[in-house]
Amino acid sequence: MFVPTKDQLMPDLTAKQELALLARTLWKEGYDDHISGHITYAVGDGTLWCTPWYLTWHEVRPEHIIRIDLEGTVLEGDWPAPLGIPLHLELHKARPDVQVALHNHSRFGTIWADAQRIPPVLDQSSALGGGDVVIVDEYKGAVNLATNAAAAVDAMGGADLALLAHHGVFVVAGSIRAAHQRAVALEQRCRHAWYAEALGGGIPLTGPPADMFRASSGEGYIGFWEAMVRAELLDDPTLLSGG
């Protein structure tokens, strides 16, 4: 069992291990719409590590992670690519600066996407991931079609987080750590704003504090990702043994 120290808060991880851990941690945060959702990690050589089809994010293990090219062809692994992977392929083609992209139909994020409203930031936990949120009202059908996926990516522009109307959420970041922080903060933002509306509305965070949080890359909250990794490894000590 890994025992953290102040100098090493989590074990050294491969990209496949990080991807599996990201999926599992986000499942517990509300990214849990059955077998829907996919995460990609740009390797840097025109290929992507990718969560597979058929498995929930709760059960993904490192040995399940597949490697695909930018046309969606499986190059490594025994599992098929997710049906909605064209959304990621078009995103990585258009924005080579993005290392990690994730899509799911999160519990509270999808409600705001359904309403086509961007929830206000009401507290610092909801803002910690940074980035700009946009509504993408480009739903012409499922994003397993490249034309639909390309339209959604084009409408998203350079934003870091998107609420996909009639669909779900899309989060992009420069690392696994940042993707985790942004995805968690987005779902908290959506959840807290929903609860505040039940009270008649909240007071949005504004001014310099809001600007500071929005400018964040999602990289700065050292310790949070590591703690969630350790929690997963405590729940399943065998998780890193297969790849």
pLDDT of residue 139: 67
pLDDT of residue 145: 74
Q: What is the C-alpha separation between 71 and 103, in angstroms, rounded?
A: 18
Tell me if residue 172 falls in helix, strand or coil.
Answer: strand
pLDDT of residue 112: 98
pLDDT of residue 242: 74
Tell me if residue 136 falls in helix, strand or coil.
Answer: strand
In one letter, which amino acid is 32? D
Q: Which residues are registered as beta bridge partners of 47?
A: 69
Residue ranges in the chain whose pLDDT is less than 70: 139-144, 243
133, 95, 217, 4 alpha-carbon torsion, rounded to 10°: 120
Domains and CATH numbers, the chain: 15-242 (3.40.225.10)
Half-sphere exposure of residue 225: CA atoms within 13 angstroms, side-chain side? 24
Range list of β-strands (E), the chain: 38-42, 47-50, 66-69, 74-76, 100-104, 133-136, 161-164, 168-173
Q: What is the C-alpha separation between 19 and 17, in angstroms, rounded?
A: 5
Tell me if residue 103 falls in helix, strand or coil.
Answer: strand
For 176, phi then psi, to 5°, come to -60, -45
